Structure formats: structure tokens, C-alpha cells
């Protein structure tokens, strides 16, 4: 599929003056995002609940960073949607258990751009297009070695820097075809060790401060599938 450039938002959601209208719109957007997130998670039993977990963890980090209520809600919605572009990546590549070829890896790396394209018509005007930007940049790295644009440090949108931590943490706690899930404490240690390279150190600090709270939240989502 030929990718279209992502158009600039035509208006700002934050400009909606009536708070009740804003809340109602947010509720609808959340339901829409949750449905799409569930759809992508259902493609693969390994990633079951991943989008839900990223939504919950990202929102919790945003609250710890004292972001506004609106910002943390938008972050939650972006968490549900962050991997929606994988809908355009063949299952044979997504579920491959062996090493990926360069071409297959290049195909997977298209998912942030694809995802931004998919949600732009609905989310482009929400929060100054922040959700679209967060989806587009959720695989950037703090040291500039990520994709799609190799953005560095604070050039990466704040929401994308937060989702990057939540995304990796959730993924580490899930079984993958090529490795078993990590223990909770090992995954926390891994996130801390990547502060300053893969992740924004301030966001890692905020995450570390709430790690016990995050554990409870994830335990609630997973039910009987107990974290170790
Ligand atoms: Fe949600
Ligand atoms: Fe992703
Ligand atoms: Fe993800």
C-alpha cells in the first residue's frame, strides 16, 4: 500500500469548550480505540491484552509525571492504538518464531507509519494530533537509534517516550515464540538498565516509582494469569 503523508489536524480537541461534550467525545474515542486494540491483540495469542496493558501503564506513568487529566486520557487511548498498524503486516511475519530476514524486519518497521495513517482520519483533530504523533513515533529511541525517523531525546513527543517504556515492559512480561515471559522484577531491571539509551531517564524514574502499583494494575487485567 502506498503511504499518504499524514495531514495536519484541522482543529484542536482541547478547544472544545464544553467539558461535558469533551468527556462524551473522549468516551466514544476510548471505546473505538479499545475495540481496535482488541482486534490487533486477537491476531496473536502471545500479544493478548498487550494494547490494554500499554494503555493502563502509560496512563499511570503520565499521572506520576503530573500530566493533565486530558493528557493522561489521550495517552491511554494512544496506548490502545499504538500497534494498530500491525493489521497491515502479514501474520506469517508477525508470528514467525525464527530470525527475521532484513525484508521481514523492514515490513514490521512499517507498522508505526501504517498505524498513524489508519487513525489519522479519526484522531488527527484530537489533542493537536498528539495521538497520531505518538503512534508514529512509539519505536523511536532516546539515543536516536529507533524508527521510523531516528528522532532523538526531546524531539520525540513526550507521549511516545512514555508509550515506549510501557510497550517494552508489557512485551517483556509476555511469552513470545522465541522466548518465555520475563519475571516482573527482571523486566523492571531491564527497563532501568535501558534508561538513557532506549528510554528517557525521567520517564524510567517515574515508572520505577510506581512499579508496585503497575504490578497490581496488570494483575487485575490478567486475572488468573498470575505474574511471577
Ligand atoms: Fe481502556
Ligand atoms: Fe509497536
Ligand atoms: Fe506494542
Cβ neighbors of 102 (< 8 A, separation 6 or more) are: none
Ligand nearest the Cα atom of residue 111: 2
Distances (CA, A) of 66 to 11, 61, 63, 91, 152: 25, 9, 5, 39, 23
What is the per-residue pLDDT across 89-148, written as a single tens digit (0 to 9) for each? Answer: 999 998 888 888 999 999 999 999 999 999 999 888 887 899 999 999 999 999 999 999
Residue 195 falls in which region: left (phi positive, over 0), alpha (psi -120 to 50) or beta: beta
Residues lining ion ligand 2 (Cβ < 5 A) are: 83
Q: Could you tell me the domains of the chain? A: 18-222 (1.10.3210.10)
pTM confidence score: 0.89
Distance CA 213, CA 145 (A): 31
Task: Measure 171 CA to ligand 2 centroid, in angstroms.
Answer: 10
Mean pLDDT for the chain overall: 89
Amino acid at each position: 500500500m502506498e503511504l499518504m503523508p499524514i495531514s495536519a489536524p484541522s482543529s484542536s480537541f482541547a478547544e472544545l469548550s464544553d467539558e461535558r461534550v469533551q468527556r462524551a467525545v473522549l468516551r466514544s474515542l476510548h471505546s473505538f480505540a479499545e475495540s481496535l486494540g482488541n482486534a490487533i491483540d486477537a491476531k496473536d495469542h502471545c500479544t493478548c491484552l498487550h494494547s490494554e496493558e500499554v494503555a493502563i501503564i502509560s496512563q499511570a506513568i503520565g499521572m506520576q509525571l503530573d500530566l493533565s487529566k486530558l493528557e493522561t486520557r489521550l495517552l491511554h487511548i494512544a496506548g490502545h492504538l499504538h500497534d494498530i498498524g500491525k493489521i497491515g503486516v502479514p501474520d506469517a511475519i508477525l508470528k514467525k518464531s525464527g530470525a527475521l530476514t532484513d525484508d521481514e524486519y523492514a515490513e514490521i518497521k512499517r507498522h508505526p507509519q501504517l498505524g498513524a495513517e489508519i487513525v489519522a482520519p479519526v484522531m488527527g483533530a484530537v489533542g493537536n494530533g498528539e495521538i497520531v504523533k505518538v503512534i508514529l513515533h512509539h519505536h523511536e529511541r532516546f539515543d536516536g537509534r529507533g524508527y521510523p525517523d531516528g528522532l532523538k531525546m526531546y524531539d520525540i513527543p513526550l507521549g511516545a517516550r512514555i508509550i515506549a517504556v510501557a510497550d517494552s515492559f508489557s512485551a517483556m512480561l509476555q511469552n513470545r515464540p522465541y522466548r518465555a515471559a520475563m519475571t516482573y522484577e527482571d523486566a523492571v531491571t531491564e527497563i532501568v538498565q535501558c534508561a538513557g539509551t532506549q528510554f528517557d531517564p525521567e520517564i524510567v524514574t517515574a515508572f520505577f516509582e510506581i512499579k508496585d502499583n503497575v504490578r497490581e494494575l496488570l494483575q487485575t487485567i490478567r486475572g488468573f494469569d498470575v505474574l511471577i
